[in-house]
Amino acid sequence: MGKVSSGIDAAAWLREHGLRATHGRIAIVRYLDASRVPLTLADIHAKVRAAGCDFATVFRFISILEEKDLVERVAWIDGTTRHEIRARDGHHHHHHYLICRTCQKVEPIDQCVVEQVENRIAKERGYAALSHSLQLSGVCPQCQLTGKPKAKGKKRLPSR
């Protein structure tokens, strides 16, 4: 998981949204903000447990962030539920992801080919506030070169 070069000021961001800025909450927000891919609750807990956050605390705080529309829940291609921080420019848009079925490497895709279709469907059917996510899976070039066996069928990917 890559890091974002200039992260948000987590304490100020929490206070701006009416939330207490505890050490654990700051750690969770920083980790979510720095991640290029959506994270499972287990991923988040593993990273912030040193800041004094038990799993229940992570679960409760992520639920609060979801209720305030600050974090988006993402149904991942492997059946897990992941979470990502919403865009801070007011326009929410999931990243799109390319996932290797062999090594589970995740690469964000920056282009959005679905947004135009989404807008057309919303207009035609009268929907508002549509959102989407897109995850494509395949075998990455490195795994093709090393000749690793290709995953067959639906395989549960690890949480990382």
pTM above 0.75, yes or no: no
Which pLDDT does position 94 carry in this prediction? 58
51-101, pLDDT tens digit by residue?
889 999 999 999 999 999 899 888 887 888 899 888 655 444 557 888 888
Which pLDDT does position 47 carry in this prediction? 94
Alpha helices in the chain (DSSP H): 10-16, 23-34, 41-48, 55-67, 115-125, 141-146
Alpha-carbon gap, residue 52 to 49, rounded angstroms: 5
Query: Pairing relation of β-strands 71-75 and 81-85?
Result: antiparallel
Q: Which two tokens stand for residue 32?
A: 């979510």
Which pLDDT does position 151 carry in this prediction? 54
Which pLDDT does position 104 carry in this prediction? 80
7-54, pLDDT tens digit by residue?
789 999 999 999 999 999 999 999 999 988 889 999 999 999 988 899
Alpha-carbon gap, residue 160 to 149, rounded angstroms: 20
Asked if 104 and 157 count as a contact pair (C-beta separation under 8 A), the reply is yes
Position 106 pLDDT exceeds 50: yes
Q: Is 51 helix (H, G, I), strand (E, B) or coil?
A: helix
Alpha-carbon gap, residue 30 to 125, rounded angstroms: 38
Asked if 37 and 1 count as a contact pair (C-beta separation under 8 A), the reply is yes
Alpha-carbon gap, residue 64 to 13, rounded angstroms: 14
Asked if 93 and 87 count as a contact pair (C-beta separation under 8 A), the reply is yes
Alpha-carbon gap, residue 71 to 85, rounded angstroms: 4
